[in-house]
Amino acid sequence: MKKILSIFILLFAFIIQSCSNDDNENEALKPVDFSVSLKYDATFNSQVVKKASVTIVNTETANKYTVESDETGVALFKQILPGTYSITSTKVIQSAEFTETFGYTPTEAEINFNGAESSVIVNATATTANIEMKTSKVGDFVIKQIYYGGSDTKKGAVFRDQFIEIYNNSNTVQYADGLYMAQLTGSTTTTVASYSLPNGQFDWSKSEGMTMGNTANTDYVYGINIIKIPGNGTQYPVEPGKSIVIAQNAINHKANYVDNNGKAVSILSPELTVDLSTADFEAFLGTYSGSTYQYDIQNPAVPDVIIAYWGNSNNDLILDSLGRQAYTIFKMTDAEFAALKKYKNPKGDAPLSVQIPVAILIDGVDTTRDLGTLLVPKKLPSQIDGGNTYIPSGAYSSKSVMRKTKTTIAGRIVLQDTNNSTNDFVEVTANPRGFN
């Protein structure tokens, strides 16, 4: 009898515990209201940001929600599932509204403010977030297209046909001479460690030899490979509405060719790749490294970029086909560039990277593998890129990310530039000098 009673008690306890666990699980999955409070940075007296577009993305399910902030600067998301979210906010202010809000007239016709946070936990006890929104000058040069995905590994050109395109979005001639382009490095996982920030990005203030504290994260980005356009200052003019294409290899990738080892390479499906034989510049590493990579084919008719710094072991300008990098353009003198400091990441397992001041960046784009489960931490601050962009079709899909067309003025195409690549870019089939 005692044995039966003991079994009954244990069974009863198990049932109670199971019900309790079910209740806890149901409570954890219960939708909650979540609010995001927006303020301008201290430069603009930390005023609340009204009528800004706020988007949150669940990093596990990729569910996306967009709400406009109210008169108190709060965007309220009603009854969303608990989870981990990324947040981006954008506010485009026309000159008249800017004057009314801040009391002085800006030099630009419209001003873009952006803010971002990643790896934000939302649950029954975490129902609010605060975003500081910043602005930066919209550049005359903008990154128009990044073809990092490459083409089919058997029928196309793999990664050899990658390129980046830079566009003159102004109404005056700009000179490409001396323009730097950097591939930025950082953590490729949102996993938090002792050497990372809460969003999983490296905490560069913990790098060996770093002494500047958190400004190492907020005021600088870190370039692993950096190239520079040659020229005497006025040698390479770019007309309004025109662009320059920087190719990894400036050849016609649609055609069969012979590599540097004398091996014949056949392109089985030319339609999957691109013709870069008329690119404006190419990256040839042979002169810099002293040895020539098998596929680093040099086109004598296309000028080589200057290799300003090369931090990784890549033997060509290879863009990460999985989209785990960021890209930025800037200008400075040779002496200023030579004075930039170099650091290993705080994990200590990578080559030195060049520390580049955010203040000199003209434009930048964060790419990521996926806006859902494979989100990569941002490398650029929100005033340079308040969002991120990616190729949904994935690596070796012949796809690129391209900046949207905003309008056409007297035949000149003006590209959208809100300093938020989530809004500004779309996936397209790679098309040098083409338009969305």
Q: Do 145 and 402 meet the contact criterion of CB atoms below 8 Å apart?
A: yes
For the chain, the first-to-last Cα distance in angstroms comes to 80
Domains of the chain, by residue range, sit at 33-135, 141-429
Mean pLDDT score across all residues of the chain: 91
Segment 4-20 shows an average pLDDT of: 54
Q: What is the 3-state secondary structure (H, E, C) of the chain?
A: CHHHHHHHHHHHHHHHHHHHHHHHHHHHCCCEEEEEEEEECHHHCCCECCCCEEEEEECCCCCEEEEECCCCCEEEEEEECCEEEEEEEEEEEEHHHHHHHHCCCCCCCEEEEEEEEEEEEECCCCCEEEEEEEECCCCCEEEEEEECCCCCCCCCCCCCCCEEEEEECCCCCEECCCEEEEEECCCCCCCCCCCECCCCCECHHHCCCCCCCCHHHHCEEEEEEEEECCCCCCCCEECCCCEEEEECCCCECCCCEECCCCCEECCCCHHHCCECCCCCEECCCHHHHCCCCCCCCCCCCCCECEEEEECCCCCCCCCCCCCCCEEEEEECCHHHHHCCCEECCCCCCCCCEEEEEHHHEEEEEEECCCCCCCCCCCCCCCCCCCCCECCCCCCCCCEEEEECEEEEECCEEEECCCCCHHHHEEEEECCCCCCC
Q: Is 398 left (phi over 0), alpha (psi -120 to 50) or beta?
A: left
Pick the residue with more confidence: 313 or 237? Answer: 237
Q: Per-residue confidence at 294, pLDDT binned at 50, 70, 90?
A: very high
- The pLDDT score that the predictor gives to residue 16 is 55
Res 83: pLDDT: 93
Contact 141, 362 (CB under 8 A): yes
Q: Is the pLDDT of residue 219 over 80?
A: yes
Write the single-letter amino acid at 260: N
pLDDT over 90 (residue 269): yes
CA distance linking residue 246 with residue 280, whole number of Å: 6
- Flag the least confident range among 57-66, 152-161, 254-263, 409-418: 57-66
Does residue 14 have a pLDDT over 70?
no
Q: Which of 28-32, 205-209, 318-322 has the lowest mean pLDDT?
A: 28-32
CB contact at 8 A, 321 and 397: no
- What's the pLDDT band for 5 if we cut at 50, 70, 90? low
Q: Is 107 left (phi over 0), alpha (psi -120 to 50) or beta?
A: alpha
For a pLDDT cut of 70, what percent of the chain falls above it? Answer: 93
Contact assessment for residue 401 and residue 389, using Cβ atoms and an 8 Å cutoff = yes
For the stretch 376-387, pLDDT in tens is 999 999 999 999
Q: Which residues pair with 164 in a beta bridge?
A: 146, 246
Residue 26: per-residue pLDDT? 61
Phi, psi of 20 (to 5 degrees): -65, -45
User: Is the pLDDT assigned to residue 23 strictly greater than 60?
Assistant: no
For the residues 248-270, what does the mean pLDDT come to? 96
Q: Are residues 148 and 400 in contact, defined by beta-carbon separation less than 8 angstroms?
A: yes
**Residue 342 pLDDT:** 97
Q: What is the dihedral of CA 20, 24, 25, 31, to 10 degrees?
A: 140
The total number of residues written for the chain in this structure? 436
| 132 vs 91: CA distance, rounded Å | 12
Specify the pLDDT at position 45.
Answer: 86
Predicted pLDDT of residue 246: 98
Model confidence band, residue 242 (pLDDT cutoffs 50, 70, 90): very high
Q: pLDDT per residue over 149-199, tens digit each?
A: 999 999 999 999 999 999 999 989 999 999 999 999 999 988 899 999 998
Question: Quick one: which of 305, 335, 286, 314 has its CA closest to 181?
Answer: 305
Q: Mean pLDDT throughout 294-323? A: 96
Residue 4 confidence class, pLDDT cut points 50, 70, 90: low
More confident position, 362 or 350: 362
Question: Does position 315 have pLDDT exceeding 70, yes or no?
Answer: yes
Is domain 33-135 in CATH 2.60.40.10, yes or no?
yes
| pLDDT band with cut points at 50, 70 and 90 for residue 375 | confident
